[in-house]
Amino acid sequence: MNSLLKRQIRKHLSEELKNNPEIQSFLAAIEGSYNTYEEQFSMLQRAMSISSQELFDANKRLTEEAKQQRMVIKRLNDVIKTLQSIGNKEVTKEIKDLTGIELATLIEEQAAKISAFEKQRAKMLRDLEKSNEELTSYAQVVSHDLKSPLRNVSALISWIKEDAEQMGGTALSHLAHIEKNISKMDNMIGGILEYSLVDKKDKIVNLVDLNVLIYQTIESLHAPDFIEFSIDNRLPTMKKDPYRIKQLFQNLISNAIKGMDKEEGYIYIGSKEEEEYWEFYIKDNGKGIPEKYHTKIFKMFQSIDSTKESTGIGLSIVKKIIDYYEGKIWLESVVGEGTTFYFTIKK
């Protein structure tokens, strides 16, 4: 209590009242109220001392934070709606917006589902990898087991032919036909094995100079003398697997050679560089391919060779190699005039 006020009150009280307990209690109550008022007034003064600019800045920060929180909640709602739509393809009614607590609960549930899905996916990938390894091993074993009796039969026929000179031309012709079919079956088994291993072999990356590779491939195919080869431009050098690239060109050039029905045959090879890939072509002036076969010939065991000597696997291998390199293959052909195969290989 203010000391001046206290003296004024005591000045007007008698000595008897000054010592009265009730008066003493009354004065103590007044002093307590006065002290409380002073504390509140002091707090008010401190509050009033905050500048209006500080209050404006604080209010601006709170408003911005509230806005950001609303945006976060809206985006989370959108994510949850998307997840719910993916999880339930038959959702037709609009999904309501969720509160913060509901969002947190739902996100926790979705996280658990995603975690379970990832574990399941990882297991499926492991199982698939194991199955692929088993299939590759199986293909190799089957190929070996099938080729072994073929070699034995071929050897027996050779011995029979040596002893069958006196049997005449007809018998020898039949034996030659058997040998021809055995050779075709041997090539077919080898082709199936090659097809199964195209995307299973180790990924080898080397610089491949196609100018050298094409020359070596043409030399190895022993094309007839009446076929002339032409490289239309300088071919690129690429970082690829030499074996796969050689398989690719070897099968296409071999097909062009087999399809040649002209006395003067021409096979042209060239390339064109694009931004993300190389485009190649192999063009011949052979007998051509009817349009109805333009898609079929890339499937296993599909062949238009009327002599039935083709295994129908070569172009399937070509297609699989091009798919492996994320490319495309197509052809243009006119029956009686020739065929051009186009294909791309991603850089």
- What is the pLDDT at residue 21? 74
- What is the pLDDT at residue 211? 95
- What is the pLDDT at residue 93? 42
- What is the pLDDT at residue 147? 65
Q: What is the model's pTM? A: 0.52
Residue segments in the chain with a per-residue pLDDT below the cut of 50: 1, 89-95
Q: Measuring CA to CA, which residue among 271, 265, 238 is closest to residue 341?
A: 271
- What is the pLDDT at residue 90? 47
- What is the pLDDT at residue 279? 96
Tally Cβ neighbours within 10 Å of residue 184.
14
Whole-angstrom CA distances from 99 to 64, 69, 105, 149, 344 are 20, 12, 10, 74, 53
